[in-house]
Amino acid sequence: MKIAVIGATGLVGRVILRVLEESNLFSNVTILPVASERSAGKKLTFRGEEHEICGLRDALLAEPDIAIFSAGADISREWAPEFADKQTFVIDNSSAWRQEAHIPLVVPEINSFTIEKNTPIIANPNCSTIQLVLALAPLHRKYGIKRIVVSTYQSVTGSGAAAVKQLKNERKGIDGRKAYPYTIDLNLFPHGGNFLENGYTTEEQKLADETRKILDDQSIQITATVVRVPVYGGHSEAVNVEFNKDYDINELRELLAETPGITIQDDIAENIYPMPLFAEGKDDVFVGRIRRDESCANALNMWIVSDNLRKGAATNAVQIAEHLVKNKIL
């Protein structure tokens, strides 16, 4: 089996390679690392062996079984259909295809059934959406979600290597390239993505649109505020959910605890709750501060944290690839 990783030298691309290395299903895979022309010919290491980085055209000619894209929406729009025409299954980590009706938007624990042999392009959701819906899906099935209010506290790693470098430079007192319009160290700002005419940002709009699509319910009311914070380990979300039906808090906790990919960290007596510091490098979505909203009937508060480079991007994409293999869809 051949797997092409497009954007292999980027933050997410490197984590995709790491997750593929960890997967037993891909122990004998041939890796095609793909990057921009300026990186072509350079080498990177996968499972202890050096692999030469190639360009998109060479990767296309190699006709990989799977191509995992993480090189931005423009590259995906141009090249994903070409790979699909070669009978390659494309798993795309950009925003290019997520809202296309004929393209499945997949979190494998929730809706892998939407993947079929005739869906060669599969969209990977936004990082903050993935951790949100993984916690919401079992609750929606049981109680029905009426409304969601979510505020995110998003790691600089979500903006790529340049943003990480900016934060590191600021902490060292170095005046370097700016990925953000403001200082990020000792600061935070409510600006993720580009502003839309309605005052929301593209990141906030993605949370709403993608959540409805994955949960397959356009009636859910969602409002979001995205905040960028100076941390590395992952994204955090303060989530308020209003259900159509009342719930028992202990039953709700059990539902979450039984959900694959969810780890409950919720012991306030011992100051145990999810934090990016401990989520970094892990694949699970961590949920804590689970409590009834006493200001609104049938409502709940919870705090959700996950490594945005792992489950929020790379791990979810590799899980989709594993689903293709396990279910003999390839």
Find the catalytic residue in 127, 140, 296, 323. 127
Asked if residues 299 and 289 have their Cβ atoms less than 8 Å apart, the reply is no
Tell me if residue 54 is catalytic.
no
Question: Closest Cα to residue 240, out of 199, 278, 295?
Answer: 295
b/e map 127-158, b = 16+ CB within 10 Å: bbbbbbbbbbbbbbeebebbebbbbbbbbbbb
Q: What is the largest CA-CA distance in the chain?
A: 60
- Element (DSSP H or E) covering residue 288: strand 285-292
| Strands 66-69, 2-6: pairing kind | parallel
Q: One-letter amino acid identity for 13? A: G
Q: Let me know if 110 is exposed, middle or buried by CB neighbors in 10 A (0-12, 13-18, 19+).
A: buried
Tell me if residue 296 is catalytic.
no
User: Cα separation of 23 and 194, whole Å?
Assistant: 36
Question: If you write DSSP's letter for every residue of 161-228 in order, what string do you get?
Answer: HHHHHHHHHHHHT-----SSSS--TT--BS--S-B-TTS-BHHHHHHHHHHHHHHT-TT-EEEEEEEE
User: Cα separation of 323 and 198, whole Å?
Assistant: 38
- Element (DSSP H or E) covering residue 49: strand 49-52
Find the catalytic residue in 54, 140, 235, 323. 235
| Catalytically active residues, by annotation | 127, 235
